[in-house]
């Protein structure tokens, strides 16, 4: 066998999103790409804001020497300083540059955090539905992901979480606004969660860290604001990126921010920096750090996402689908008519519509639709959505 048996197993279970994407590619090759309505991938299709391109040109034209060298593993001081100032303003806490580690996207940041926190066999609580990569990331570092169901509104269920906490529980990963549900936790929920984690940290004599994965923080609708996770609980690590805020996922830039109130702050920050290095990231992309440092207050104009959300919600509601209106991110997570997500996603495929079964996100009976596609695609898929629903559920 040329590869490890472990990675072979992981490859077999790798992801429903990939599987649907591959099936979609086959359908597109057969019918032509413009005849297939593909809602599988959360790949932002909007262009970055003009300020990003201006800054990119400026930085790329800078004749100063040494701009492409290695740097401290935590990232450029100027970038960390700019982020610390922005975070201090937003969260009313005194962030310092040493509280920040620039990473290769939120994905890199999550791996760095888990590497720093987990001993083999340590457990990480993951509320379902979840971003499927969390399970791989926990496994990457010898951790065990313990999946805990949320309620019917995808809100945290503290009773269930309470039953899942054990002496080996090291962290809980939350993601709000959420992929795949589009829902987000309000300030009261986070406050209760903070009390809950404080209680359980005390019980087992070591902190259970809250890892808040927030790449969709600025993609919220109807003027909503995402409450501060740092206000809710001291032992919090924020992991985020510019992938969605600036629509630059291919550039791989994100960061970790450690709460100034976190237990073991100094040692924890040292561990994150070492993890960033020895996982082989070394440091986050230099060019992007320079481009983004002056743009910490710039975000994408999300009007196109907001319009698509309106249109998609109207189409699904008119066809009789049951779903919660997304408050943020760019996903809809409706109930699968007939109850079986696999059969329903297959019925959609017969209409040349591609979605992802909910079981890929830890919640069977639902399916995910990503609206990172033009309004014309959503509109053109409307009759197919209506027919698929009628065929399955009558
Ligand atoms: C919930 C969630 N976390 C993390 C990521 C990874 O994002 P990044 O491009 O910043 O690595 C994604 C990407 O889709 C995501 O949806």
pLDDT tens across 118-174, in order? 999 999 999 999 999 999 999 999 999 999 999 999 999 999 999 999 999 999 999
Chain centre to alpha carbon of residue 325: 18
- The tokens for 164 are 């899942």
Question: Which of the four pLDDT bands, split at 50, 70 and 90, describes residue 13?
Answer: confident
Q: Taking CB atoms and a 6 Å cutoff, what residues make up the pocket around ligand 1?
A: 42, 105-107, 131, 175, 179, 213, 215, 241, 243, 249, 254
* Cα–Cα distance list, 346 to 54, 120, 270, 378, 388 (Å): 45, 39, 49, 18, 9
Q: Which of 366, 244, 376 is nearest to 311 (CA)?
A: 376
Instruction: State in Å: Cα 60 to ligand 1 middle.
Output: 26
Phi and psi angles of residue 173, each rounded to the nearest 5 degrees, phi first: -100, 120
Closest CA to 353 of 320, 310, 387: 387
Q: What is the pTM of this model?
A: 0.96
Q: How far apart are CA 176 and CA 107, in angstroms?
A: 15
Strands (E), 30-96: 37-38
How far does residue 215's CA lie from ligand 1's centre (Å)?
Answer: 6
Atom 2 in ligand 1: residue holding the nearest Cα? 131
Contacts of 72 (CB under 8 A, 6+ apart): 273, 283
Average pLDDT over residues 67-80: 97
Q: Which atom of ligand 1 is nearest to the CA of 107?
A: 11
**Which one of 18, 131, 226 would you pick to mutate in the ligand 1 pocket, going by the greatest count of ligand atoms within 8 A of its CB?**
131
CA distance 312 to 57: 36
- From the CA of 131, give the closest atom in ligand 1: 1
pLDDT of residue 24: 83
Task: Of 17-21, 128-132, 171-175, 266-270, give the lowest mean pLDDT range.
Answer: 17-21
Provide the pLDDT for residue 394.
61
pLDDT over threshold 90, residue 287 = yes
- Cα 231 to ligand 1 centre (Å): 23
Residue 43 pLDDT greater than 80, yes or no: yes
pLDDT digits (tens, 9 = 90+) for 173-195: 999 999 999 999 999 999 999 99
Strand pairing class (353-354; 367-370):
unpaired
Q: Please, which pLDDT band fits residue 14 given cuts at 50, 70 and 90? A: confident
Residues 6 or more apart whose Cβ sits within 8 Å of residue 52: 246, 248, 291, 292, 295, 298
Give the separation between CA 343 and CA 122, rounded to whole angstroms. 36
* Cα distance between residue 367 and residue 344, in whole Å: 8
| CA terminus-to-terminus distance, the chain | 49
* E-strand stretches of the chain: 37-38, 100-103, 123-128, 144-149, 169-175, 209-213, 236-241, 254-258, 331-332, 353-354, 356-357, 367-370
Tell whether the model's pLDDT for residue 377 goes beyond 70: yes
Residue 186: name the closest of 194, 127, 241 by CA. Answer: 194
Q: State in Å: Cα 131 to ligand 1 middle.
A: 8
242 alpha carbon – ligand 1 mean position (Å):
10
What is d(CA 155, CA 361) in angstroms, rounded to the nearest whole number? 15
What is the CA(331)–ligand 1 centre distance, in A? 13
């Amino acid at each position: 066998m040329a590869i490890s048996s472990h990675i072979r197993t992981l490859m077999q279970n790798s992801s429903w999103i990939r599987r649907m994407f591959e099936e979609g590619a086959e359908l597109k090759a057969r019918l032509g790409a413009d005849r297939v309505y593909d809602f599988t991938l959360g790949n932002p299709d909007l262009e970055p804001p003009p300020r990003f391109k201006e800054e990119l040109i400026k930085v790329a034209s800078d004749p100063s020497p040494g701009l492409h060298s290695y740097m401290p593993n935590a990232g450029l001081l100027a970038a960390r300083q700019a982020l610390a100032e922005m975070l201090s303003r937003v969260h009313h806490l005194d962030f310092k540059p040493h509280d920040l580690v620039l990473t290769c996207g939120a994905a890199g940041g999550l791996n760095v955090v888990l590497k720093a926190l987990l001993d083999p066999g340590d457990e990480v609580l993951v509320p379902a539905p979840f971003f499927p990569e969390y399970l791989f990331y926990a496994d990457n570092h010898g951790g065990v992901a313990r999946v805990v169901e949320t309620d019917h509104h995808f809100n945290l269920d503290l009773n269930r979480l309470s039953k899942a906490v054990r002496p080996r529980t090291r962290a809980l990963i939350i993601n709000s606004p959420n992929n795949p549900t589009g829902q987000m936790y309000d300030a009261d929920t986070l406050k209760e969660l903070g009390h809950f984690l404080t209680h359980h940290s005390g019980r087992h004599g070591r902190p259970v860290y809250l890892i808040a994965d927030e790449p969709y923080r600025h993609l919220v609708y109807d003027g909503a604001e995402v409450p501060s996770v740092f206000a809710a609980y001291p032992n919090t690590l924020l992991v985020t990126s510019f992938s969605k805020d600036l629509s630059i996922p291919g550039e791989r830039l994100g960061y970790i921010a450690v709460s100034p109130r976190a237990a073991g702050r100094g040692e924890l920050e040292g561990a994150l920096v070492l993890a960033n290095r020895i996982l082989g990231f070394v440091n986050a992309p230099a060019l992007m750090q320079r481009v983004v440092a002056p743009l910490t207050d710039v975000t994408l104009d999300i009007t196109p996402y907001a319009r698509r959300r309106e249109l998609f919600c109207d189409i699904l509601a008119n066809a009789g689908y049951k779903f919660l209106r997304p408050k943020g991110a760019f996903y809809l997570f409706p109930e699968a008519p007939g109850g079986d997500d696999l059969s329903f996603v297959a019925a959609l495929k017969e209409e040349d519509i591609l979605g992802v079964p909910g079981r890929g996100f830890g919640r069977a009976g639902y399916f995910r639709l990503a609206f990172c596609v033009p309004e014309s695609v959503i509109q053109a898929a409307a009759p197919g959505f209506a027919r698929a629903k009628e065929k399955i559920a009558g």
